[in-house]
Structure 1
Amino acid sequence: MTRTGERAVKSRMETPRWVARIQQAGGPVVGAGVLLGPDRVLTGAHVVSPGERYVVHFVGVPGVPAVAATVSPDEYVPQQEDSFGDRTGDLALLRLAEPRPARQTTRLCRLAASREGVGMYGFPEGDDGGRWHSATLVGGRGRDSQVQLRPETPGELAGPGFSGGGVVDYATGELIGIVLSVDAGQGSAFTYMSPTETILRHLPQVAAWTVGPSAVDPRLHPKESTGELDVPFATELAGWFRGEGWPVLVTVVPVRGRRAWTLRRAVTLADRELRTRDNTSRFAGDPRETVPPPGGHDLALVVRGLTVAQVMDRIAQRLGTPRDTAVPLPEQIVAMGITLAAVLVGVDEAAEPDPLLGMLERLAEQGARLLLVFRAPNGRAAQAADVLVHRPLADRWARLRADLDRIVDRLGPALDERLGRVLPGGDPETRHLIDRARRGIPLTRLLRGQLAEAAGRETEPSRADDLFVYEAAAARRTRRLERAAALLDARIARRDELRGRVASVWELSKRKADPARAERNLMAYELYATASALLRETPCDVDAAEHAVGRFVAYCSGHPQAYGTDDSGREGTA
């Protein structure tokens, strides 16, 4: 037991004691909530209204009578739309008329990701006892940093009775936010939650019931409310926080000056908890491209004097990753299925800079996004840029060129060679696929020529987005060509099979031929000759040949009606 309450759940089977079912006084269920303090229940603002009277039921504690509750205007943040048209707010604290025991409360936890998905506890219509629904985290939404949840099954989409309900990380058992709303679109449906950091931004008093380290090292908080903005650098930083460009950005930022203030500004605006209405309005006049989105990083840490183990422990804390395991942290992050985004400041001042760079290289290889800040333009900064940016970029461009060569010089000619042997057939989907595969070859040839003209610029991080687009296009074209080739290979194999079948049936037919039935023998030969001629044509119409082979085989087996022929082998009379 701590002053902030217990971990949210120990078992997915239990009904937590902190679960609150909220009803209008004498009316219906309006939503759910979370008991954080003995007399405070966190919920969504759209669930309750100041001046109204409510009753709260704690369904996880049998025999406890309902408790009266109200909400104060100073603890009520209604949902609004900001200047960008995004939803913001929608949070409230209910005050209980009679406090509950402290052992019944829980706590919020700052957590950057979820390894095993999350559970939402709410009250579907007609189920006053409530239930768990499972979901996975998808990503942030809007400038209020709402996080999208995808239900594990269609039946687990959270309905109105889940509004305000707690969202629990299954891996750690910690409460990481509350359910806000549900969007149901054509073919898909999602739930949205407000994570702990966003809740703290709107209701700072909730910090009394919150655990877990903040995402941003206090040493990176702006020391001055305003400063001189380095616009090009701010634009570069905002692009990285948006997930644009090469995932590793290596830069040099002295402790003081324009670049230092610009870095602190970007880190603050990219953090869900620190991005307040005050600082966003303060920077409202700045160029839009210099403003990063909230939730743009999982961690921003000054690593001066820290060992590799200390840095890794800090990352593990933010991700909720256990450190008592034989599996190295980079591999654990991959197993979690998340993309770590970390800002590490003062890399050249770390206690173990070279081993730290080695660990960061492993994280980058596993897909992490890293903003590495050096304090001086020294050899380690150049080494980091070479190892983590320039060389990997050059290798990727080289692989792309090899992929383009394979498409133009191998896969394209191989497809044409197959089309010279068999026709695609009458299936519209097959013909469409093969047509698209063939159209991609001249486009790839054109792209290869364009890249040849731009040779020598492969290590420019600003071209990384082009690289990603070209890689995706090459992968799509390769898949189409390989799939088209496989379809044609199947038709070639079918043609070869039909050739063997015709030959074997014809040999058997000749041995069984009755000299007294010359007309029948002649018809068998004509059917054989027709099928054989179709199978020898290049390109072969396998569908027509298969039909002709079927007629020949059916006639020789004594079942001509199977292919619409009579005993004479003529079509259309059966």
Structure 2
Amino acid sequence: MTRTGERAVTSLLRMPSWIARIETPDEGVIGAGVLLAPDRVLTAAHVVVPGQPYVVHFAGVPDAPSVPAHVLPQEHVPQREDPFGDRSGDLALLRLDEPLPAQHTTWLYRRATPHGPVSMYGFPVGDDAGRWHDATLVGGRGRDSQVQLRPRTEGELASPGFSGAGVVDHATDRVIGIVLSVDEGRPTAFTYMSPTETILRHLPQVSAWTYGAEAVDRTLRTGTRGAGGELDVGFATELASWFRGEGWPVLVTVVPPRGPRAWTLKRAITLADRELRTERNTSAFDHDPPETVPPAGGHDLALDVRGMTAAQVTDRIAERLGVRADPLPERLGALRVPLAAVLAGIDEAAEPDALLGLLDRLTQQGARLLLVFRHRHDRFEQAAEALVHRPLRDRWTRLSDELGCIHDELGPALEERRDRVLPGPDPATLRLLTEAEAAVRRTRMLSAWLAHAPDRDREPLRADLLFTFEDAVERRRQRLEQAITLLDTRLRRREELLGRVTATWPLFRERNATDTDRTMKAYRLYEEVLAHLQQTPCDLDRSEAATTHFLTYCTTPPPGREDPP
């Protein structure tokens, strides 16, 4: 039986014993499953129906007989759609009439922010022996925190026989969820997986066969309202915004150990967790303002770091991310995994300064952090300055510098080139230049807005405005650089043509000194070419045609001569 520290799959060359093939007595193979306990098989709810008989076969167990099975209504969570059209549920537990030996089972593994390559073993139509398919975890989808999988090849698209199949993570060799088929079982370009914590949300009894660090420390959880259960609406709204991924990625705040603010923090952490947010514990908050309710999956972990060293915090983060080797901060950064973490009690950590150094590195690698201090003092002010206010000011300053570069350097450079050469008749080129010129005008408008914007628009909670401006300015810079490069190419071509023409004329005149008529005609063509090439702005297309005509005349032998003059 797979336990902590062991592997769900030791080699893809053999079939693990926990892989289940689910059949009906009449229709044959209908899906796959994962043997979690001697008498329990986890699968997708659309594969099975309560009250119907099924047969489960374990091809990875030599000489194992097929086992009759059924599903109870309380262990069947059908697929539903929420008011926004997102799918949820689609999970079930089959009960085997005859249990298998415990060594054939496996456990589910909790893992934050699934990413990277995975494999699954299913039973496509016509292949009852089954096969491995590979895919890459793309990212979360919908409010049920299902995860999108991209097949490695077209031949590994989802099919009904993979519904309920266990998904094995290559980085940890552990089962991190099960496959859910979509679009009525037809093969699709993507597959969807229900990760372990989403499974636990719908089937909490599966926790008996689950290992891996839970996302939320027990000191940071809350249930229904009790002592100190008064909601701080303003703080709850700020927290929900952070959990939605809005505003500046680092939120540094002070929350005393007790009182409404502490209860509000625990409520937000609980509701934002994929595993803890269930219909049972959220019903108590149905009447709260909707802007105070964070989305499920809003964080990857929430740690109470009181008394912890920086190394211990690093280990906890590494465990949630599925890092198997030495979890140095540099290794966490090299993974390039998006991380959203809550760390409470920063000022009560064993090494607060070293911990803040670690968190600074994580923020530079793209982590979103909610840092909670228990008391307001110098270290809190230093953290807020170092992780929020200073980098935010720097970003606004860089934005201002980028705007200045566009309207003081790139804009004039584009205008100077437009004065020297025409863009030509190509529609794509004309569109690019039009967009580049419009970018300069919009940049001037944005610069004027920044010069008079109120301070509240530069606050951390309004950082999305900054990010929007940064993206827009980057696109404008790219358009301008592309337009300038295009015009520079045309200007270089103009200089090339001018060089060829001015080099050809003296040679032609010398070789045809006795042929006055021919020389005079060539001279008229030469003057015509120079007029085109020296015109401002230069019409390069007409210049190209005139240059070709002149060079052709100069290099074509006159009647009665074999070689060009």
**Structure 2-normalised TM-score?**
0.93
Query: For residue 552 of structure 1, what is the aligned residue in structure 2?
Result: 550
The Cα shift of 1:334 comes to: 3.2
Matched letter for residue 536 of structure 1: Q
Moved more, 34-43 or 505-514: 505-514
Moved more, 94-103 or 311-320: 94-103
Q: Deviations over 1:48-99 (max 9, x none)?
A: 1112222223233455443322212121111122344432211011122332
Q: Deviations over 1:416-471 (max 9, x none)?
A: 11111111112111111111011011111111111111375586212211110111
Moved more, 107-116 or 424-433: 107-116
- Asked if the contact 1:21–1:33 (Cα under 8 Å) also holds between the matched residues in 2, the reply is yes
In structure 2, relative to structure 1, the CA distance for the partners of 1:553 and 1:183 (3 Å cut) is farther
Query: For residue 494 of structure 1, what is the aligned residue in structure 2?
Result: 493
- Asked if the contact 1:136–1:150 (Cα under 8 Å) also holds between the matched residues in 2, the reply is yes
Task: Measure, in 1, the Cα distance between the counterparts of 2:209 and 2:219.
Answer: 24
In structure 2, relative to structure 1, the CA distance for the partners of 1:17 and 1:548 (3 Å cut) is farther
Q: Deviations over 1:452-505 (max 9, x none)?
A: 113755862122111101111111101111111111111111111111122223
SS in 2 for 1:149: strand
Query: For residue 481 of structure 1, what is the aligned residue in structure 2?
Result: 480
Query: For residue 51 of structure 2, what is the aligned residue in structure 1?
Result: 51
In structure 2, relative to structure 1, the CA distance for the partners of 1:303 and 1:5 (3 Å cut) is closer
Query: For residue 291 of structure 1, what is the aligned residue in structure 2?
Result: 293
Task: Measure, in 2, the Cα distance between the counterparts of 1:183 and 1:348.
Answer: 50
Matched letter for residue 191 of structure 2: T
Query: For residue 125 of structure 2, what is the aligned residue in structure 1?
Result: 125
Is 1:383 matched with 2:385? no
In structure 2, relative to structure 1, the CA distance for the partners of 1:450 and 1:555 (3 Å cut) is same
Task: Measure, in 1, the Cα distance between the counterparts of 2:115 and 2:93.
Answer: 29
Task: Measure, in 2, the Cα distance between the counterparts of 1:510 and 1:14.
Answer: 84
The Cα shift of 1:205 comes to: 1.6
Query: For residue 222 of structure 1, what is the aligned residue in structure 2?
Result: 222
Query: For residue 538 of structure 1, what is the aligned residue in structure 2?
Result: 536
Query: For residue 233 of structure 1, what is the aligned residue in structure 2?
Result: 235
Matched letter for residue 276 of structure 2: L
SS in 2 for 1:272: coil
Task: Measure, in 1, the Cα distance between the counterparts of 2:100 and 2:368.
Answer: 44
Query: For residue 572 of structure 1, what is the aligned residue in structure 2?
Result: none
Task: Measure, in 2, the Cα distance between the counterparts of 1:4 and 1:298.
Answer: 20
The Cα shift of 1:316 comes to: 0.8
Task: Measure, in 2, the Cα distance between the counterparts of 1:52 and 1:512.
Answer: 101
- Asked if the contact 2:115–2:138 (Cα under 8 Å) also holds between the matched residues in 1, the reply is no
Task: Measure, in 2, the Cα distance between the counterparts of 1:183 and 1:246.
Answer: 37
Query: For residue 449 of structure 1, what is the aligned residue in structure 2?
Result: 448
Q: Deviations over 1:222-258 (max 9, x none)?
A: 1544521111111100110010000000111111111
Query: For residue 15 of structure 2, what is the aligned residue in structure 1?
Result: 15
- Asked if the contact 2:248–2:388 (Cα under 8 Å) also holds between the matched residues in 1, the reply is yes
Is 1:304 matched with 2:306? yes
Moved more, 524-533 or 446-455: 524-533
Task: Measure, in 1, the Cα distance between the counterparts of 2:51 and 2:510.
Answer: 101
Unaligned runs of 5+ in 2: 560-565
Query: For residue 318 of structure 2, what is the aligned residue in structure 1?
Result: 316
- Asked if the contact 1:437–1:477 (Cα under 8 Å) also holds between the matched residues in 2, the reply is yes
Q: Deviations over 1:348-388 (max 9, x none)?
A: 11111111111111111111100001111121111111111
SS in 2 for 1:189: coil
Matched letter for residue 346 of structure 1: G
Task: Measure, in 1, the Cα distance between the counterparts of 2:143 and 2:257.
Answer: 29
Moved more, 499-508 or 210-219: 499-508
Task: Measure, in 2, the Cα distance between the counterparts of 1:336 and 1:367.
Answer: 11
Matched letter for residue 27 of structure 1: E
- Asked if the contact 2:2–2:107 (Cα under 8 Å) also holds between the matched residues in 1, the reply is no
Matched letter for residue 120 of structure 2: M
Task: Give 1:144-543 correspondences, 5 Å limit.
Answer: 144-182=144-182, 189-222=189-222, 224-225=224-225, 227-324=229-326, 329-454=328-453, 460-513=459-512, 515-516=514-515, 518-543=516-541
Task: Measure, in 2, the Cα distance between the counterparts of 1:111 and 1:423.
Answer: 58
In structure 2, relative to structure 1, the CA distance for the partners of 1:120 and 1:519 (3 Å cut) is farther
Superposition RMSD on alpha carbons, in Å? 2.2
SS in 2 for 1:113: coil
The Cα shift of 1:115 comes to: 5.4
Matched letter for residue 317 of structure 2: I
Matched letter for residue 275 of structure 2: E
SS in 2 for 1:398: helix
Say how many residue pairs are matched: 554
Task: Measure, in 1, the Cα distance between the counterparts of 2:124 and 2:522.
Answer: 72
Task: Measure, in 1, the Cα distance between the counterparts of 2:551 and 2:282.
Answer: 80
Task: Measure, in 1, the Cα distance between the counterparts of 2:11 and 2:528.
Answer: 73
SS in 2 for 1:55: strand
Task: Measure, in 2, the Cα distance between the counterparts of 1:177 and 1:495.
Answer: 62
Task: Measure, in 1, the Cα distance between the counterparts of 2:286 and 2:145.
Answer: 18
Task: Measure, in 1, the Cα distance between the counterparts of 2:467 and 2:183.
Answer: 31
The Cα shift of 1:135 comes to: 2.6
Matched letter for residue 136 of structure 1: T
Matched letter for residue 260 of structure 1: A
SS in 2 for 1:295: coil
SS in 1 for 2:42: strand
- Asked if the contact 2:108–2:209 (Cα under 8 Å) also holds between the matched residues in 1, the reply is yes
- Asked if the contact 2:25–2:53 (Cα under 8 Å) also holds between the matched residues in 1, the reply is yes
- Percent identity of the aligned residues? 63
- Asked if the contact 1:53–1:70 (Cα under 8 Å) also holds between the matched residues in 2, the reply is yes
SS in 2 for 1:544: helix
Matched letter for residue 255 of structure 1: P
Matched letter for residue 130 of structure 2: G
Task: Measure, in 2, the Cα distance between the counterparts of 1:130 and 1:313.
Answer: 38
- Asked if the contact 1:115–1:336 (Cα under 8 Å) also holds between the matched residues in 2, the reply is no
Query: For residue 36 of structure 2, what is the aligned residue in structure 1?
Result: 36
- Asked if the contact 1:253–1:376 (Cα under 8 Å) also holds between the matched residues in 2, the reply is yes
Q: Deviations over 1:239-297 (max 9, x none)?
A: 10010000000111111111111111100110011000112222122111111111110
